[in-house]
Structure 1
Amino acid sequence: MLSSSAFAAIDCAPLDKWQTNTVYTSGDQVQQENIAYQANWWNKTSRKLRSV
């Protein structure tokens, strides 16, 4: 997990866009509104995962 002070610039261009009906498992990365997110555990339909 990253603390709120541990932000780094991430190029979201290669990341898939977050999809409502997609299951994300630990380590999966997606982007929403040009913000990168990484799933830390199994996750489905949660609007936000965790920003990386």
Structure 2
Amino acid sequence: MDYYQAAKLRKEWKEKGNPPCSHSDREKERLNGSLTGDAVCTTCGHEAWIYKEKKAE
């Protein structure tokens, strides 16, 4: 998800009263096409995680 899309999503989520979110769906964050190394919640836009690929077992 693009950084600016996430920022818009965070603003909209806050306008809804900032309800609880489980942050269960995340995507890699990009800024101007480059990965930031973080991930953002696709529901509320929260960004806090260092994105790590799941290893195949």
Q: What TM-score do the two structures reach when normalised by structure 2?
A: 0.30
Q: Report which of the two has the higher share of strand.
A: 2
